[in-house]
Amino acid sequence: MFRFGYEPGTIRYGEDCVDALAQELDALGTERALVVAGQTTGTTPEVIDPVREGLGEYLVDVFAETTPDKTLETAFDGADRVAETDADVLVALGGGSSLDIAKAISVLAASEQPHDEVRETFEESGSIAVPDGELPPVVAVPTTLAGADLSMIAGVTARREGLVRGGAYDERLMPSALFYDPELFRTTPQGVLCASAMNGFDKAVETLYANTATPITDGTAVRALRLLDSGLPALGSGARDDATMHDAIVGTILAQYGCSRADGLTLSLIHAFGHGIARGYDIRQGGAHAIIAPHALRYLFDHVDGGRDLLAEGFDIDAATPETTAERVVDRIVSIRDALGLPSQLREID
C-alpha cells in the first residue's frame, strides 16, 4: 500500500523557455513580479536580461540581495520590497539560496507579525510560522543543479549567540511554475555547477532507499539516475552541449519529483551527514555530500538492503550477489563524484 499526494507547479524545460514567463504569470492571475536573485546573478546581463525580457511589463523590480548565508534579515528586506512595490508574485532566479529566500519572503509578506516577533521566535525555535490563507506564489528559474526548486522547504539562518538554522515548511511553498532554461545553466561557473550537481544527484540515490519511497518515485528516480549517469561525467569534463545539459537538467528535475511532499521527504542518510558537515563549516553542501556519499552508502548496505537492486537498475549495473551489487553501486557513485572534480576527503577542505 502507498499514498502519493503531490502537486508540483507547471514545469517548463527548453532553450529560451523563460520567454514564456509572462504567459505563466498570466495563467496564475498575477500582475506584478519581483525577481529575487543573488548579488551576482541579479546583475549579470546574460542571466537577468532574458528573465527581464520574458517578464516584460509584469516586472516591477529586481531584489538582487540574496547570499549563500540565506539570512532571515535578507528575507525581511525582501518582504519590505514586496510591500514597497506591491508585488503579487516572486520570481526566484539562481541557486538554492535565492529559491529559499524567495519562499521565506512569500511567508513574511503574507504574515501580519512584526519582524521583531518573527526574529525572536525563529532564534528560539528555528521556525517561521506560515500564516493561513494565500501566499504570494513563487516562480522558480534555477541556474544550478542542487534540486532545491521542487520543494516545500524554505531554509534560512540567523545569529543569536551562534548560528541558528531553520525555516518554514508548507505545501503552499511549492513553486507554482518552474522554468529550466539550459542557456541560463550555462552561465553558472563550472565549480559551482558541478558541486550543485552532486546535491541533486544524491536526491535520486536517496529516494530509492528512503522509507517514504513509492513506486512512482522509484520510477522517476531510476530514470533520473540513467540520465545523470550519462550527463554528469560529461558535465564534469567541461561539456555543455545540448545532450549533456538535457541529461543533467532533466535528470535533476526527475530526481526531485516527489522528493518533497506533505507526507514526507525522501532525503535520508547522505543528507543527514552532509548537512551536519556543511552547516558547521565553510563548505558547499554538494562538496560535503561528495565526501559523505560513499561512506554513508557502505554503512547503509551493511545494515539493510537499501534499494540496491533499483540503484543497480538506474546505473545499468548487472546485479549479481547482494554484496557485489552494493559494491558496484558505491563504485559508480565514486566515479561520478570524481568525474565532477569534487573532494573525496575532509582533509581536502581548508
**Inter-residue contact 183 to 322 (CB < 8 Å):** no
Q: Give me the percent of the chain exceeding a pLDDT of 70.
A: 100
Q: Measured between alpha carbons, how far is 271 from 202 in angstroms, rounded to an integer?
A: 8
* Region 175-193 average pLDDT: 97
Q: Positive or negative CA dihedral for 152, 93, 143, 68?
A: negative
> Where would I find the H helices in the chain?
21-28, 45-55, 72-85, 96-110, 115-125, 182-185, 190-207, 215-236, 242-256, 269-278, 285-303, 308-314, 322-339
Look at residue 207 in the predicted model and tell me its pLDDT.
97
End-to-end alpha carbon distance in the chain? 47
Q: Measured between alpha carbons, how far is 110 from 108 in angstroms, rounded to an integer?
A: 5
Look at residue 319 in the predicted model and tell me its pLDDT.
80
* Region 322-341 average pLDDT: 97
Q: What does the mean pLDDT of the chain come to? A: 95
161 has pLDDT over 90: no
Q: What is the residue extent of each domain of the chain? A: 10-182, 189-348
**Inter-residue contact 259 to 151 (CB < 8 Å):** yes
187 has pLDDT over 90: yes
* Region 186-202 average pLDDT: 96
pLDDT band at 349 (very low <50, low <70, confident <90, very high): confident
Of 84, 69, 163, which is closest to residue 122 (Cα–Cα)?
Answer: 163
| Bridge partner list, 64 | 37
CATH superfamily of 189-348: Dehydroquinate synthase-like - alpha domain (1.20.1090.10)
User: One-letter amino acid identity for 96?
Assistant: G
Each residue's pLDDT tens digit, 245-258: 999 999 999 999 99
Q: Measured between alpha carbons, how far is 35 from 258 in angstroms, rounded to an integer?
A: 26
Each residue's pLDDT tens digit, 34-51: 999 999 999 999 999 999
User: In which residue are the cell numbers 500500500 written?
Assistant: 1
Each residue's pLDDT tens digit, 113-126: 999 999 999 999 99
Q: Measured between alpha carbons, how far is 52 from 37 in angstroms, rounded to an integer?
A: 12
C-beta atoms surrounding 155 within 10 Å = 21
Look at residue 148 in the predicted model and tell me its pLDDT.
87
Reduced DSSP (H G I as helix, E B as strand, rest coil) percent helix, strand, coil of the chain, to 5: 55, 15, 30
User: One-letter amino acid identity for 312?
Assistant: A
Q: Measured between alpha carbons, how far is 204 from 111 in angstroms, rounded to an integer?
A: 34
pLDDT band at 277 (very low <50, low <70, confident <90, very high): confident
pTM, two decimals, is 0.96
Each residue's pLDDT tens digit, 135-145: 999 999 999 99
The matching CATH number, chosen from 3.40.50.1970, 3.30.70.270, 3.40.50.300, 3.40.640.10, for 10-182 is: 3.40.50.1970
